[in-house]
Structure formats: C-alpha cells, structure tokens
A = this chain, B = another copy of it.
Amino acid sequence: MKKLFPLVTTDIALFTIIDDSLRVLLVKRANTPEPGKWALPGGVLDPASDSDLDDTAQRVLSGKTGVDVPFLDQVATFSGATRDPRGWSVSVLYYALLPRDQVPAIAGKKTEAIEWRDAFAPGSRLAFDHADLIRAALATLRDKVERAALPLHLLPDRFTLTELQQTCELILGRALDKSVFRRRLKDEPRIVQLEGEFLYGSQRPAQLYGAAEGFRF
C-alpha cells in the first residue's frame, strides 16, 4: 500500500576532536531497515512532544548519546521516495559540536555501539544516504570556519590560542599562518582573555581564553 504521509526524521552529524583529528559520531543500527550498518544518530519526529524540529534533534541526540550539546544547527533537508526502504522520507540534517573534553560523557545509551569516525573518511557502506549527509555537514562546518567563524564549542571551557588555531586547521585540513591568525584575533569579541590564567607546560606559560558570554557556534 502506498503511504500517504512521509516519514519525517532528523539526523545529526555530531563533530568533535579526538587525537588531533576531526571526528563524527556514528551508531550501529540495531533494527531494520539496514540492521548492522553504521549511521548518523537520528530519529523520527514526535508531534506530541516536539515543539519544532530543533527540539526533535535535541531530543534524539540526547537520547542516543546522553549529552546535551551546546550548539546544534540545520545543514539541509534530504528527501525522496527511495532513500529509505520504509517509504517516502524527509530527513532534516543538523550538525552539532561537542567540546573535546566531553567526549567521555557519551555513554552509548540503549546499549548501541558507537564509533567516532574520521569525519573526512567515515567509512564505506554506511546506512541510507548518510555518506552524503556527512559530506554536507562537513562542508557547512568548513564553510563557517573559512568565513572566520570560531568553532569554540569544540574546545574546552578554557583554551589557548594554539588550541584554537589547531582546531581550525583540523577542520580546514590545512595549516594557517600563525601571525595572520593571531592578528585576526586581536579585538575579537567572541573570545575573552582569562585574567591571570595560564596553561603551564614544557614551554613558557600560555594565556588561557574562554568564549564570550552569549557566544553561538
């Protein structure tokens, strides 16, 4: 029987930094369709509980990972008669950023297997059209950083300018000139210098910074 209503879902590309590489979270599908395949975390809209699709995305991601992410935004909407064997489907794709120090908090609720895959090479034979979805989410993230957005939500609460630069470089896949990058951050209102707080290591102490109040992305 032809279904009269499309399936409306959200899928979320959750990025973080692990071992100096940009990673995306995949979950192993337990149920049909495509059981055993790896996919972005996603779930069906519940009109009774979600006030909008941002809500759906937050609820789905929190249910699958146990964490609430500080940043989540739309990438694009994928749709069609054949992309899901259950029928006509609409997936609103979001991307989200998880601070690197919160990676251990992802519990893998519902005993789902999870993996943090290299965002640039997440593997072949993913479920549905999720390889396309990951590419689209990655393009959106890179595009923002190319346009001088600061991906502060990938960083811990306190970070050095070197960590910030490295995070941008991992997303862009290329080195940035340090003096140009530092000059760009002069009078940058989105970050604040944490008075008297330094990172001590083998080198000379490095000034620590934090995100400005009300910062988004």
Name A residues whose Cβ lies closer than 8 Å to a Cβ of B: 2-6, 8, 45, 47-48, 50-53, 74, 76-77, 79-82, 87-88, 90, 92
| Dominant secondary structure of chain A at its interface with chain B | loop
Report which residue of A45, A53, A77 has the largest number of chain B beta carbons within 10 angstroms of its beta carbon. Answer: A77
Q: Which of B3, B51, B52, B74 contacts A47 (CB 8 A)?
A: B3
Name the B residues within 8 Å of A81 (CB-CB): 47, 50-52
Q: Which of B2, B8, B79 contacts A6 (CB 8 A)?
A: B8
How far is the CB of A12 from the nearest CB of chain B, in Å? 14
The answer to whether A77 touches B80, judged by C-beta atoms less than 8 angstroms apart, is: no
How far is the CB of A145 from the nearest CB of chain B, in Å? 15
Name the B residues within 8 Å of A76 (CB-CB): 74
The answer to whether A4 touches B92, judged by C-beta atoms less than 8 angstroms apart, is: no
The answer to whether A90 touches B53, judged by C-beta atoms less than 8 angstroms apart, is: yes
14 A–B contacts, CB within 8 A, in A order? A3-B47, A5-B5, A5-B8, A5-B47, A6-B45, A6-B47, A45-B88, A47-B81, A51-B80, A52-B80, A53-B77, A77-B77, A90-B90, A90-B92
